[in-house]
Amino acid sequence: MTESEFVEIADNTIEAIQQAIDECGADIDYDEIGGVLTLEFENGSKIIFSKQTQIKQLWMAAKAGGFHFDYDEASEQWYCDSGSNEELYAMLSWLASEQAGELVDIRVAEI
């Protein structure tokens, strides 16, 4: 994957996350500045996404810790590079639910 392909996929992913948050019905505010997406919950906690273009990863910081995601071109999915290689949206749903104190289901049909 070239750097420009990575940037396009990462930008589309960040946009898809914003749209999924709008559609999930949870009370989550978000703001994107310079390619960094910050999700803020009622209790003041945050989840932050940033693109790491040089190493072609998306990074997510949450109360539970920091997570790095690699894009798998074959499945067109982002997977955590540690632990159980969890898929990005599944992990985001779990972490957002934990931080929001309510079930948050963030599903994205396609990037």
The 10s digit of each residue's pLDDT in 75-93 is 999 999 987 789 999 999 9
Position 6 confidence tier, pLDDT thresholds 50, 70, 90: very high
- Choose which CATH entry (3.30.920.10, 3.30.70.980, 3.10.450.50, 3.40.50.300) describes domain 3-100: 3.30.920.10
Q: Which of 55-64, 76-85, 98-107 has the highest mean pLDDT?
A: 55-64
Say how far apart CA 72 and CA 18 lie, in whole Å: 21
Q: Which two tokens stand for residue 104?
A: 């948050």
Residue 43 is predicted with a pLDDT of 92
| Predicted model pTM | 0.88
Which of 71, 17, 81, 9 has its CA nearest to residue 47? 17
Residue 62 is predicted with a pLDDT of 95
Say how far apart CA 76 and CA 47 lie, in whole Å: 23
